Amino acid sequence: MSLSVELKDLEVLTTNAKQIQDDVLKEILTLNANTEYLKRFLDGSSDKELFKKNVPVVSYNDVKPYIERVANGEPSDVISGGTITRFVQSTGTSGGIHKIFPVNDKYIENLGYLLAVSSLITSNDKVDEKGKKMAFLYNRLESKTPSGLALSSSFTSYFMSDYFKNRSSKCNSEYTSPDQVILCPDNNQSVYCHLLCGLSQREKVVGVSATFAHALIKAINALQIYWKELSSNIRSGHVSEWITDLDCKNAVSAILGGPDPELADVIEQECSHKSWEGIITRLWPKAKFIECIVTGQMAQYIPTLDFYSNKLPIVSMVYGSSESIFGVNVDPLSKPQDVSYTFLPNISYFEFLPIDHEEDMNTIVDLVGVKLGCYYETVVTSYFGLHRYLIGDILQVTGFYNNTPQFRFVRRKNIVLSVNSEATTEQDILKGLASATLVLESSNSMLTGFTCYADISSFPGHYVFYWELKAKDVDDVVELDENVLEECCYALEESFDALYKRLRSKEGSIGALEIKVVQQGTFDSLMEYFISKGGSVAQYKTPMCINSSETLAVLEDKVIARFYSQKSPPLNL
Ligand code: AMP
């Protein structure tokens, strides 16, 4: 299995979006006509009008019983007309619960297609110059559903497939790491080996990439821990003993070639600088771009990436989920805040529920029916058994590429902080964070992880932000400057909306915002906690808001200091 992708295909797809979407729906309805799920509503018909009239818009809990029956061994046609060959599992960090979805090879092919199109776009736009990408890609061991089908994250399903093995070199700029490193299921060993391969080929590295920004920050953290050992491996030409995955070790040894004391000296010299500002460009001087998703909740990592990379352009290319792939960024060099994703009309059938009319399902529009500037929640009908399924992401239409709309990722639905009648959205939180990190810049520390929750255990309830801080200079310890951190609390509050400020400053029904500083490594522990529940490193997103007591306990254990806002935010007139 291999994929042949040409950029002109994208032109054709986006020009004929309407027809392609109609064809996709027809194909899906014909394929699934006799499933137990769809028969109830359509009685075997594949008519679009009937579909729109009869098939309800649903969320995960509505389809979960059907999905679980297939996972437990009932035939695929409970929900899907195609053969189900495996399940993919969402990370559970964006919506709070782990969801599983039945899929087959077509799903993996779609993922391969998305990655191939995105590679083509970056090479075409000269972002991705001739050279290699140091890509922090990870795999995990698959588990099994009770009926024995493979269950894994979507990336694992792709890496384990022939689509990955046979990927076209035209579509994928070469990685510095051999496939054995990507496929190694122990993510500590793989991050170490990714770094070793990237360092030993430092002159060839033109780009540094990961799926989500978080995975890239994690790689830099690993570099801070291991650089002495990495340079000693390069000096001797031997890979450390603790790399026990033999396929991985042999492949990395072959890349090292032999001892390289000169390179080891350079690495030691760069990494022993007091400040790690610009470390990426110092170690990989030919790197021209960073590639990872920095939209949505990943935006919080932009300042840290800018710090480590001396503000190399960040290319945020793809948008997808376990349920379906959505789109690709056709303008790779757009600024993170301007990134939009052009939907791919051949992947699933897409509809859009205007967010001001969530109660009225009659207002749902087709992909080509969305209006510029308006906000929608995506509703997906997939080849694998999801029909009119609400994804939970809020998007805004920013333009059209040929005849296909482009969307800015706005926020997850339902992720809000609230202790009273106010609703502080993910976007409000990110805005607050941007101004609080500006305040933090006057200190010696930077923010490396955060999450928050609404504490209503006492009255008045208040917002709590958990912050993990790190000293800007590697050998320094974080100095917790009370004034700066109290100002950070205030900067967060000041950027929330008018209702928050009224309830906080006038009515006193919201208490002062609190920042709880946690020990270094806390957010790694949080990730490990989620991974232990079935998540994957490649897809991991730190939850922006916490609402489970178990997760809170992981954080509460690690709190080292608390700071409160000392003044009330001004009322908006
Ligand atoms: P999962 O199914 O665990 O991979 O999570 C999918 C979710 O991750 C999506 O529904 C989005 O909320 C988020 N996500 C994926 N790609 C992006 C992106 N490019 N920008 C912002 N959020 C994204």
* pLDDT tens digits, one per residue of 135-145: 999 998 889 99
By most ligand atoms within 8 Å of CB, the mutation choice from 393, 426, 530, 533 for ligand 1 is: 393
163, 3 Cβ separation under 8 angstroms: yes
Q: What is the band of 555 on the pLDDT scale with cuts at 50, 70, 90? A: very high
Q: Which token pair is 541?
A: 């997103």
Q: Using the 8-state DSSP alphabet, how is residue 504 labeled?
A: I
Indicate if ligand 1 lies below 6 Å from the C-beta of 530.
no
**Which residue would you say has higher pLDDT here, 214 or 25?**
25
Indicate if ligand 1 lies below 6 Å from the C-beta of 539.
yes
- Minimum CA distance residue for ligand 1 atom 5: 321
Indicate if ligand 1 lies below 6 Å from the C-beta of 391.
yes
Indicate if ligand 1 lies below 6 Å from the C-beta of 240.
no
CA of 539 to the centre of ligand 1 (A): 8
pLDDT value of position 419: 80
Indicate if ligand 1 lies below 6 Å from the C-beta of 319.
yes
User: Is the torsion defined by CA of 197, 202, 203, 209 positive or negative?
Assistant: positive
Q: What is the band of 313 on the pLDDT scale with cuts at 50, 70, 90? A: very high
Judge whether residue 427 has pLDDT over 90: no
Tell me the pLDDT of the chain averaged across its residues: 90
Return d(Cα 318, Cα 309) in angstroms, integer.
21
Q: Which token pair is 343?
A: 């939907």
**H or E stretch covering 447:** strand 445-455
User: Helix 302-309 to helix 213-236 angle, to the nearest 10 degrees?
Assistant: 30
Ranges of H-type helices in 210-364? 213-236, 246-256, 261-271, 279-283, 302-309
CA of 174 to the centre of ligand 1 (A): 25
Beta bridge partners of 408: 396
Indicate if ligand 1 lies below 6 Å from the C-beta of 412.
yes
Judge whether residue 158 has pLDDT over 80: yes
What tens digit of pLDDT does each residue of 492-535 get?
Answer: 999 998 889 988 998 888 999 999 999 999 999 998 888 887 77
CA of 214 to the centre of ligand 1 (A): 13
Q: What is the band of 92 on the pLDDT scale with cuts at 50, 70, 90? A: low
Indicate if ligand 1 lies below 6 Å from the C-beta of 324.
no
Atom of ligand 1 nearest to the CA of 99: 2
Return d(Cα 109, Cα 3) in angstroms, integer.
8
Return d(Cα 238, Cα 225) in angstroms, integer.
19
CA of 342 to the centre of ligand 1 (A): 15
255, 181 Cβ separation under 8 angstroms: no
Sheet strands (E) in 194-288 = 205-212
Return d(Cα 250, Cα 181) in angstroms, integer.
10
pLDDT value of position 197: 98
pLDDT value of position 571: 83
CA of 482 to the centre of ligand 1 (A): 36
Q: What is the band of 542 on the pLDDT scale with cuts at 50, 70, 90? A: confident
Return d(Cα 302, Cα 485) in angstroms, integer.
20
Q: Which token pair is 572?
A: 């908006």
pLDDT value of position 328: 96
Return d(Cα 489, Cα 483) in angstroms, integer.
10
Overall average pLDDT of the 220-248 stretch: 96
Atom of ligand 1 nearest to the CA of 341: 19
CA of 502 to the centre of ligand 1 (A): 33
Indicate if ligand 1 lies below 6 Å from the C-beta of 322.
yes
What tens digit of pLDDT does each residue of 281-296 get?
Answer: 999 999 999 999 999 8
- Minimum CA distance residue for ligand 1 atom 9: 321
Contacts of 340 (CB under 8 A, 6+ apart): 329, 331, 334, 398, 399, 406, 407, 408
pLDDT value of position 567: 93
- CA angle (155 as vertex; 324, 314 as ends), nearest 5: 85
Judge whether residue 359 has pLDDT over 70: no
Q: Count how many residues are written for the chain.
A: 573
Return d(Cα 78, Cα 540) in angstroms, integer.
30
Indicate if ligand 1 lies below 6 Å from the C-beta of 520.
no
What tens digit of pLDDT does each residue of 320-339 get?
Answer: 999 999 999 999 999 999 99
Atom of ligand 1 nearest to the CA of 298: 21
Q: Where exactly are the structural domains of the chain?
A: 7-105+319-412, 128-139+168-287, 416-564
Q: What is the band of 55 on the pLDDT scale with cuts at 50, 70, 90? A: very high
pLDDT value of position 467: 97
CA of 22 to the centre of ligand 1 (A): 25
CA of 393 to the centre of ligand 1 (A): 8
Indicate if ligand 1 lies below 6 Å from the C-beta of 377.
no
Q: What is the band of 1 on the pLDDT scale with cuts at 50, 70, 90? A: low
Indicate if ligand 1 lies below 6 Å from the C-beta of 296.
yes
- CA angle (67 as vertex; 61, 71 as ends), nearest 5: 135
Type of residue found at 137: L
Indicate if ligand 1 lies below 6 Å from the C-beta of 317.
no
Indicate if ligand 1 lies below 6 Å from the C-beta of 295.
yes
Contacts of 413 (CB under 8 A, 6+ apart): 377, 390, 392, 393, 394
Indicate if ligand 1 lies below 6 Å from the C-beta of 327.
no
**What is residue 557's three-state secondary structure?**
coil
User: Helix 187-200 to helix 213-236 angle, to the nearest 10 degrees?
Assistant: 60
First-last CA distance in the chain: 62
Atom of ligand 1 nearest to the CA of 88: 2
Atom of ligand 1 nearest to the CA of 412: 12
